[in-house]
Structures are given as C-alpha cells and as structure tokens.
Amino acid sequence: MFQWTAAISCLAAILFSQAPANGREYYESRGDIVWEVPTADKLIALTFDDGPDPKQTPKILDILKQYDAKATFFVVGKRVDLYPDIVRRELAEGHELANHTFTHPYFQGKVSVERLQQEIDSTHKSIKKATGTSPHLFRPPGGYYNQTMVHVTKKLGYLVVLWSWHQDTVDWNRPGVGKIVNKVLNNARNGDIVLFHDFVEGRTQTVAALEKIMPELSKRGYKFVTVSELLKHRKLDPAPLKSDPAPLK
C-alpha cells in the first residue's frame, strides 16, 4: 500500500514539473477551469487576491458597499489567521471567500502534490476557523495550472477560477490609477471576471481606481456579483478560444 501511494505521489510530482499539456480551450470546455462566464446578463465578478489587509481591504469593502456590489476575495491563509475580523466582515456583507493558498507559492516549477494539498487544506481550515464556512473556489497564485492541479483541486472539492485575460488590471505592479481604470472600463463585457488585489506591497492604487470604475460601470447598467453567482448565469457553447498565453504576473 505504501509503495503504491509513493508511486502515485512520484508520478504526480513529475506531472507537476511539466508545462500544461492542454490549453485553455481544453480545460474550459470540460468545466475544469473558469476564466469568464459567457452570459447575456450584464453581470461582472470583481475578484480580489492576496488579502486580507487591515488598511486596504476595509477601504475596498466601503466602496463595494456604496454600490451594493458583491465580490469574491481569494484570501491567503496566513493572512486570514492574522486578520480574521476582516474576513468575517467580508462574509457578513455578502461577499464570497475563496482559497488562494496559505503562503502564496508559485506552482510553475516542480511542486509535489503534498505541498499543493497542504497549501489548499491549511487555508481551508483558516477560513473555516475564522468564519465557520467552507470555500469551494481556488485560484493558484500567478495563474499557473496543469492537469495535476485540476485533479488535486477536484479531489479536495474545489473549482479552479482564474480571470478574464482582458481584465487583468496588474494593480499589484502599480501601473497608475488611469491605466487600471482604462483597463477595466475599455474592456468591460458581460461575464467578466476582473482581477484586482486587496493587498499590494507599498501604496495601493486599487482603491483610487475603484472609486472611478464603480460609478461608471453602474451607470452602464452592470451588476456586481460573486463568482459563484456569476456561474449560475452561464450560457452554453462559449465562443472558440485562441491559443493559451503564458501565465501572468
């Protein structure tokens, strides 16, 4: 039994060291990974990675509340342990909590299945301890994925969620408030999953950008929902996709 388990772990480790054998079209058509949700409804999912943060996250929550917007926060487990009150506030205000690993490692290299499971499970326990709820969405740091990750996350009861390629604000790199705003507004369309960060090293530009983005998208008639809510509005037969670009960040 031990030898069989070790053999499986070894094979999975080898698979994890390889680049994805299949691209977006393969995983999206199977429902293994979500980038966006084809829908006729004017819905957009705002997502925030890497938090919670005691300074940045509350400001973002205040803005979201002003526009009756619901978002999905992909939280880092070790930060949940530090700031449990913030994730409790997120949940209390109708937002969704999702798993973004415990220590924010990048899985583009050789990573063992055990390490991935530990990262996901530790964050799951942190969220459960802080809020009493269990997340079911997972976003790998940097957007790195492959078949082994899909297999492991499914086994743990998770769905991998990335983001719309045209809605990566790169706010973590502080490109300028105007660039963040233009990225979102110039590309907004139904079913988008927009990538923001509620924890940015140094001074964040995300809050100032949201103050401009939210009123304009609201004026255009968009409603802001969680990823799970957006998934309920999925249309069948998504449009054909082009080749898969390299992971971002």
Task: Judge contact between 144 and 20, C-beta under 8 A.
Answer: no
CB 166 within 8 A of CB 28: no
Averaged confidence pLDDT in the chain? 89
The yes-or-no verdict on residue 187 having pLDDT over 70 is yes
Pairing between strand 43-49 and 96-99?
unpaired
Quick one: what percent of the chain has pLDDT higher than 90?
Answer: 82
Mapping DSSP to helix (H, G, I), strand (E, B) and coil, where does residue 53 land?
coil
Q: What is the pLDDT of residue 236?
A: 62
Task: Supply the DSSP symbol for 190.
Answer: T
Average pLDDT over residues 8-21: 44
Token reading at 223: 């409603």
So which residues are the catalytic ones? 49, 197
Cis peptide before 58 (omega within 30 of 0): no
Looking at the predicted structure, is the pLDDT value of residue 215 above 60?
A: yes
- Residue 52 vs residue 146, higher pLDDT: 52
Q: What is the pLDDT of residues 121-153, one digit of tens each?
A: 999 999 999 999 999 999 999 999 999 999 999
3-state helix, strand, coil in the chain (%, to 5): 45, 15, 40
Residues 217 and 208: their CA atoms lie apart, in Å, by 15
- Short-list 206, 204, 224, CA closest to 215: 224
